Chain A
Amino acid sequence: MAKEKKRKAAEEAVDGDDYIEREDKKPKKQKLILASQIKNKEKRSAVYAKLKHEKRVEKRKKIKARDAASKQALELGEEPPEKMVPRTIENTRELDETVCRPDDEELFAGNDADEFSAVLKQQTAPKVLITTCRFNSSRGPAFIKELLSVIPNAQYYKRGTYELKKIVEYAKNKEFTSIIVVHTNRREPDALLLIGLPDGPTAHFRLSNLVLRKDIKNHGNPTSHEPELVLNNFTTRLGHRVGRMIQSLFPQVPNFRGRRVVTFHNQRDFIFFRHHRYVFEVKEKKEGLKDKKSKASQGKTEKKAIARLQECGPRFTLKLVSLQHGTFDTKGGEFEWVHKADMDTSRRRFFI
């Protein structure tokens, strides 16, 4: 029905000057009808199914052709044709000038004069004070317990009604190297405030997706060996700074016998925290399962060296909200970086 209507409309619209043109236009216009424009559900679904089937068949053909070509090339000993790389957000990330380069001397000089250099060069051992916001409830204490087990040499102090600035002073007197404040909102830990001491920067993170140890299936129990740190993808200058700040929470001498690894993985400005125990193993992999026809190649078993992980400890994600120079002072402090709403406009721009 719709097709006929369109045809009539096409005929009426055209003047009739070029008879040939009209004829050409007809088939073209017929082909351009989208499946979604058909009002009849059965007909529409049939057309759509046909379309999808065609697409799938085409795709399979392409894949087969590609595989055949690469196999051929391998057999002939030539280079296989280039593998197509899918376009991802990471591939198409907006160019950032502040990305750290490995040959940047300024960066290294900056690192030396950093607030964290004392801890990172092992002149002082890290000592962490964990506290909460004024009203703490529900998952907060459980989360703090787990944090205490993750970060070695961490102590928990109840908040009371002290001002944060006073707490900072108190911690300085007792020679702590950093403070973590866990902020709770609506009975869930919501934000993490990381304050470096003596005049370290203050980083405000938003916490989300917290999964406690008891909620993880097949979780392991962490030991008290010093963990290994893995910090991934902290590429820009800001990321580098944040990475060093996180690094300064942990002791710089990991105890490899404990086989504990703590990971902070940055992906698109979200920092994922994971805590694992690992083991190196030999894994036997059977080859030749792809080709069901050739049974001869099924006898091969390739051994690979792999690392196996068992998750222990909490799992959460952090997102940097603001980084302030100096200890906690929202009114008078100088902010190095603040998240603003218009930073979110581009889907390909990330700051850490």
Chain B
Amino acid sequence: MQNDDVIWDVIRHHHCSYMAKIQTGNFCRNPYNVTGICNRSSCPLANSRYATIRDHDGIFYLYMKTIERAHMPNKLWERVKLPKNYMKALEIIDKHLEYWPKLLVHKIKQRLTKMTQYRIRMVKLSKKVREKIMTVPRKEVKRESRREEKALRAAQIENVIEKELLERLIKGVYPDICNYDEEIFNKLLDKNKVEEQEEEEEEEAEVEYVEGDYEIEEEEELEDIEDMGDFLKANNFDDIEGDEDDLEEQPAKKKAYVSYPLKQDDGTEKVRRKGKKVVVEVERDEDMGNRQHNAMSNCAHQKLRFWHVFGRISRFFSRQSYQFEGIFFFFFCFRFFLCRTMIDLWFYSQEMLQRDSLLL
């Protein structure tokens, strides 16, 4: 014999294991609860005649319990399958719960509404593409980080890069890098080359897999460069570059690596120092024009020559004795040229000066 009031009394005032107290109120975790709130009218334990809707695999079932079966917990809940159609489901609920208290029926219908709504939403979401979160076991994460550290140490990246760059320099991939003293470099690189060749001879016997420097890649790049190099020279004129290549103390030596046509210093130095004989220099260029693959445009020529001259002048002024005059010259030119190029040139000339003082 059940007395609902007694049950409710005990549950409410002592202990109910389904009750969850949070800030906003008391909730019931009982799966058969209609509203989910811990209430006298919503408690499935304290009401001998009760009904709910539960969802199994997307299909809704109406569960009912009556007091006649209260002594058989096994067969307590009677279940009716509800159709997916909302209106038909409502009709079936009405049919089964005809003489039941209106409040309960109302709550059940509300629950049905909510459940159909979220079922629709779930279907929509599953059609969308969502990111799946995959977890990686901590052991693997740690292992990877350990291996990465060791690989980093074994890689010695900076050394490898430096070696690679030097190799490329030796091979002649760089036609027009400006800021090194070519003479000494060539000497040293020749030395390096000789050393390397000696080493290679020793190593010939070993079987080689394709090693660190990816040969095929380099070839491809080289290919590009050979074609592009001249193209670049002709069209993308970087004015300063021409200057700086020529700004050297030692007169007149052809550089092995750079096939830049302006390299011939022989007799033209003095001419350029005087300054403005553009015509003469153009003629000279045409002599060397055979070396080039693409024809340079005349105005680009002249432009380069002008910068060349300018570079010479500024270098002249950069010597120790002429520094004062040099500053005047600098400011004079400042008005006509870009700030940046001027500063670059000035600093470069200073650099050259320092280098001279170091070497001599």
Q: Identify the A interface with B (CB < 8 A).
A: 88-90, 99-102, 120, 122, 133-134, 163-165, 208-209, 228-235, 243, 247, 252-254, 256-257, 259, 261, 263, 265, 267-270, 272, 274, 276, 278-282, 303-309, 317, 319, 341, 344
Contacts and interface: CB of A to CB of B under 8 A. Distances in A.
Given A261-B161, A308-B162, 7 more contacts: A100-B216, A101-B209, A229-B217, A267-B151, A268-B147, A280-B165, A305-B189
A232 B160 contact: yes
A308 B220 CA distance: 25
Contacts of B238: 257
Q: Which 5 A-B pairs have the closest CB atoms?
A: A305-B188, A267-B155, A268-B151, A307-B165, A267-B151
A229 B144 CA distance: 27
Contacts of B179: 279-280
Contact of A344 (B143, B160, B173): B143
Interface string B169-200: 10001111111110011001100100000000
B214 interface: yes
10 contacts: A101-B209, A163-B129, A208-B145, A228-B221, A232-B213, A233-B214, A256-B173, A257-B176, A263-B157, A270-B151
Contacts of B189: 305
Contacts of A208: 144-145, 148
A134 to B, nearest CB: 7
Nearest to A304: B188
Interface in B294-351: none
A261 to B, nearest CB: 7
Given A229-B221, A247-B217, A280 B157 contact: no
B178 A257 contact: yes
Nearest to A273: B157
A351 B258 CA distance: 41
B interface SS class: helix
B161 A270 contact: no
Interface string B120-148: 00000000010100000000100111011
Of the four ranges (under 10, 10 to 19, 20 to 34, 35 or more), the interface on chain B belongs to 35 or more
A280 B210 contact: no
Interface in B205-229: 209-217, 220-221, 224-225, 228
Interface of B: 129, 131, 140, 143-145, 147-148, 150-152, 154-155, 157-158, 160-162, 164-166, 169, 173-181, 184-185, 188-189, 192, 209-217, 220-221, 224-225, 228, 238, 241
A101 B207 CA distance: 12
A274 B157 contact: yes
Contacts, number: 140
Contacts of A305: 166, 169, 184-185, 188-189, 192
A278 B165 contact: yes
Contacts of A228: 221
Given A234-B214, A256-B176, A305-B185, A268 B154 contact: yes
Contacts of A268: 147, 150-151, 154
B131 A230 contact: no
A263 B161 contact: yes
Contact of B224 (A100, A252, A304): A252
B210 A235 contact: yes
B212 A254 contact: no
B152 A99 contact: no
Contacts of B185: 280, 282, 305
Contacts of B151: 267-270, 272
Given A99-B210, A208-B148, A253 B161 contact: no
Contact of B228 (A209, A243, A253, A259): A253
Contact of A309 (B152, B161, B221): B161
Nearest to A266: B155
Contacts of A282: 180-181, 184-185, 188
Nearest to B228: A253
A306 B166 contact: yes
Contact of A88 (B152, B154, B166, B188): B154
Contacts of A243: 214, 217
Contacts of A247: 217
Contacts of A164: 129
Contacts of B209: 99, 101, 235
A270 B165 contact: no
Contacts of A209: 148
A182 to B, nearest CB: 14
Given A120-B220, A280-B180, A341-B140, A272 B155 contact: yes
A256 B229 CA distance: 10
Given A208-B145, A307-B162, A90 B176 contact: no
Given A265-B155, A307-B162, A319-B144, A254 B221 contact: yes
Given A267-B154, A307-B169, A102 B216 contact: yes
Contact of A90 (B143, B154, B162, B220): B154
A177 B210 CA distance: 29
Nearest to B144: A319
B235 to A, nearest CB: 12
A306 B185 CA distance: 9
A257 B241 contact: yes
A98 to B, nearest CB: 11
Contacts of B147: 268, 270
Nearest to B238: A257
A229 B178 CA distance: 20
A256 B233 CA distance: 12
A256 B174 contact: yes
B351 to A, nearest CB: 12
Chain A CB within 10 A, most for which of B131, B155, B184, B238:
B155
